[in-house]
């Protein structure tokens, strides 16, 4: 199956708050310590972290466990199937990136046995109609390839209904 692709124009300067390209380096002044999260996405895996000190699952990725402040975190794959917990629809295009892709659904999904041993993650749903979704629907995540601006290529994730 072909990977979904989102293309950005060459002329859009993105703020570092929106464009995490420079923070995807493994070292250097812009390194965030979560480089492996982006590499895992490029390799087709959505990952969170597990704290080796307290066992808490963490998403989005952090450099310090938000529960116990440990820096001992390991990467774990997010289960491929989850449940739709909440959703809304973005009908108007937001500036810069998604204005050409609206309307789309913004969802919160739970993967695994949340909160004891699972993840609660927010994400976009492109191919789903708001009217046809309901809380509890089974969903999965997939990888989104983002091309541009220029020769930059990034990866993110999105949700699909099963």
Express each pLDDT in 45-74 by its tens digit. Answer: 999 999 999 999 999 999 999 999 999 999
| Number of folded domains that form the chain | 1
pLDDT at res. 146? 83
- Residue 29 placed within a domain: yes
Q: Which domain holds residue 119?
A: 19-161
pLDDT at res. 103? 82
Report CA torsion sign: 27, 28, 31, 37.
negative
Across 15-19, 28-32, 95-99, 144-148, least confident range? 15-19
- Residue 12 placed within a domain: no
Q: d(Cα 143, Cα 4) in Å, to the nearest integer?
A: 7
- Residue 5 placed within a domain: no
- Residue 86 placed within a domain: yes
Express each pLDDT in 102-157 by its tens digit. Answer: 788 999 999 999 988 999 999 999 889 999 999 999 999 999 988 876 777 888 99
- Residue 11 placed within a domain: no
Report CA torsion sign: 40, 1, 113, 129.
positive
Residue 1 pLDDT more than 80? no
pLDDT average, residue stretch 17-28: 59
- Residue 23 placed within a domain: yes
- Could you write out the three-class secondary structure of 9-58? CCCCCCCCCCCCHHHHCCCCCCCCCCHHHHHHHHCCCCEEEEECCCCCEE
61 phi and psi, to 5 degrees? -55, 145
- Residue 4 placed within a domain: no
Residue 17 pLDDT more than 60? no
- Residue 1 placed within a domain: no
Residue 15 pLDDT more than 80? no
Across 79-88, 89-98, 131-140, least confident range? 89-98
């Amino acid at each position: 199956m072909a990977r979904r692709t989102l293309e950005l124009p060459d002329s859009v300067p993105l703020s570092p708050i929106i464009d995490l390209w420079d923070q995807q380096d493994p070292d250097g002044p812009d390194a965030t310590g979560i480089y492996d999260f982006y590499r895992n996405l490029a390799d087709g895996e959505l990952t969170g972290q597990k704290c080796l000190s307290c066992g808490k699952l963490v998403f989005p990725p952090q450099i310090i466990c938000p529960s116990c402040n440990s820096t001992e975190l390991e990467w774990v794959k997010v289960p491929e199937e989850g449940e739709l917990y909440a959703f809304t629809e973005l009908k108007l295009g937001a500036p810069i990136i998604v204005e050409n892709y609206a309307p789309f659904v913004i969802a919160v999904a739970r993967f695994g046995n949340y909160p004891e041993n699972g993840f609660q993650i927010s994400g976009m749903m492109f191919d789903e109609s708001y009217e046809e979704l309901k809380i509890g629907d089974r969903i999965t995540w997939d990888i989104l390839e983002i091309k541009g601006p220029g020769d930059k290529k990034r990866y993110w994730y999105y949700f699909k209904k099963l």
